[in-house]
Structure 1
Amino acid sequence: MTQRSQFRFTRSRHVPGLTMLRAAMSDFSYDRHAHEEYAFGVTLAGRQDFFSGGEYHRSRPGTIIEFNPDEVHDGQAGGNDTLDYVMLYADPAQLAPLFASAAGRESASQFRAAETLIHDGALRGEILDLARRIDTDTGSRIDQEYALYRIAARLVQRTGNLDEDVSTGRTDKLLERAKTFIHAHAEHDISLEEISQAAHLSKYHFLRLFRRQFGITPHQYVLNCRINAARSALDAGHELNDVVGRYGFADLSHFNRRFKRIYGMTPRQYQRNVIV
């Protein structure tokens, strides 16, 4: 059966870690997953229904969707119309100095947007402008960097007063230790016991807290990290068969199934179709 949904990734030739996705979805739904990048998207047609931040959302044409790094979400077309949308994925390392500069404070480099669905014509225009520049490969590096800065500046402007320091509770800090451990051991066959020990929590307490905080189980999060790491390896030109073994997938078929649930295509299709 021919899949009617279409996905096209285009990497910026000028700004490292900046990628555009243009998607048309009708017969596909994403599994719950998270990206290591910031994601800024605009729904162009149809409706996108998705879970994020512990609740369900509906994004209609013209609405902006924003995901912070490691923010768990899924997605599918809502209603009978094809969902058409564009999404930008930006490396946090690229955005950190832009957020800090826009806020006038170095501590703002770790900025996290509080809104998932945003109605803002100026911000929508900036996102679509940068997506167009990547898609058509127009402008220089400085042009695309400045377009990304305008997105960062608008997000900071919407937040208002950034002087208030939001302290992270003890539970959040312990779970962040677990996430750091998982990322550092993406190539290893780690156990739930090892992860919970890294967080200084009992295994059962850890399981309950992790799922309540992030919306997925630690096992799902580990798998998600491995798929993200595998995608980065494919971007760097590593052989597909080497990537399968390195990140703990049983075989290519297993990797294909998992990868497609997040990126809408198989790893081999991704390698062939991603535009540099």
Structure 2
Amino acid sequence: MRHYNQRDWFELNKDPNTSIETIRAHFTGHAYDPHWHDSYLIGITEQGVQQFNCRAKQQTCVPGTSFLLDPEEIHDGNAPSQDGFTYRVLFIKPDFFQQRLKHLFAEVPDCFELNVSKTLSQNSFLTASISSAFAAIHYQEPKIIQEACLDQMMNQLTTQMTWRKRSQQISKSTHIALLAQEILHANLSVNVGLIEIAETLQVDRFYLTRAFKGVFGLAPHAYLIQLRLVKARALLSQGENPADVANKLCFSDQSHLGRWFKRCYKFTPADYKRRTFIL
């Protein structure tokens, strides 16, 4: 089922077996504002030219090229040509990734993170494996086909990714930013202020903002909006009503939540609930 908005459209599904979300969409002009997801984004450009800013540079993705983003990696979206672009993308949670890797490799190291090496790849085998995995999940192929396609894609993906050991030594500003991040995670449903957080951490709020932006690429208030949007998606996919979600997550009302949803995802909370709520 497609949702149409003039020349733009999207197909959104959530697989009941794996909980992987898939989107096939076509956008013209400005697609969406800078935002991030709590999932790995694994996708391909099907038609046209897709441009987005990520990792401090403009990325250009054309047919035959795949795009790979880590969780919480900030990106936007834009179609530089009048014909727009069409893409297919899978949203895969980190815990699903880790579990799947344990089946593919004899040992998965402890205290390591799996990170995308390059945002764009022209590896034809990777692109083909993403296309197959997307089709199997998005169009609800039998489980055995889904599993085979996902395994094939994971095998290809790991050639584009690296194990990175988590740093044990961090600077003062990074430490402050991480503490602030913990406070934001703990206050999704509380109308917390920047001055309050700075006082809790015993730092100046301007220092806090600089430190936080240096680590996470967003100011604390913008990061908190992204956290709340991610939580909103989870609540909506569990069947909660947009108005209740907006109230629970400190949006002023349902329209406020809807405006942020459309800026970052291009679809409305109601659209998202309808396509992802699994009984």
TM-score class normalised by the smaller sequence: 0.7 to 0.9
The equivalent of 1:184 in structure 2 is 186
Residue pair 1:174, 1:199 contacting (<8 A) in 2 also: yes
The equivalent of 1:9 in structure 2 is 12
Query: 1:92, 1:130 → 2: CA distance?
Result: 17
Pairs within 5 Å for 1:42-191:
42-100=44-102, 102=104, 104-107=107-110, 110-140=113-143, 142-159=144-161, 162=163, 165=165, 167=167, 169-170=170-171, 171-191=173-193
Residue pair 1:7, 1:24 contacting (<8 A) in 2 also: yes
Residue pair 1:13, 1:137 contacting (<8 A) in 2 also: no
Structure 2 residues not aligned, in runs of 5+: none
SS of equivalent to 1:21: strand
Which amino acid in 1 is paired with 2:256? H
**Cα RMSD (Å) of the superposition?**
2.5
Which amino acid in 1 is paired with 2:167? S
Aligned residues: 272
Query: 1:148, 1:199 → 2: CA distance?
Result: 44
Q: Which moved more, 1:96-105 or 1:5-14?
A: 96-105
SS of equivalent to 1:9: strand
Query: 1:249, 1:275 → 2: CA distance?
Result: 21
TM score, norm. by length of structure 1? 0.88
Q: Which moved more, 1:178-187 or 1:88-97?
A: 178-187
Query: 2:196, 2:258 → 1: CA distance?
Result: 27
SS of equivalent to 1:78: coil
Pairs within 5 Å for 1:181-260:
181-196=183-198, 201-260=203-262
Query: 1:193, 1:200 → 2: CA distance?
Result: 10
* Deviation (angstroms), 1:101: 5.1
Deviations along 1:189-232, one digit per CA (max 9) or x if unpaired, are: 12213444676754212211322333322111111111111111
Which amino acid in 1 is paired with 2:146? Q
TM score, norm. by length of structure 2? 0.87
Structure 1 residues not aligned, in runs of 5+: none
**Percent of aligned pairs sharing the same letter:** 27
Deviations along 1:122-169, one digit per CA (max 9) or x if unpaired, are: 1111111111012221121x5434433333332323346x4x736363
SS of equivalent to 1:210: helix
Q: Which moved more, 1:263-272 or 1:199-208?
A: 199-208
Deviations along 1:35-71, one digit per CA (max 9) or x if unpaired, are: 0011101011111111111222111111111111111
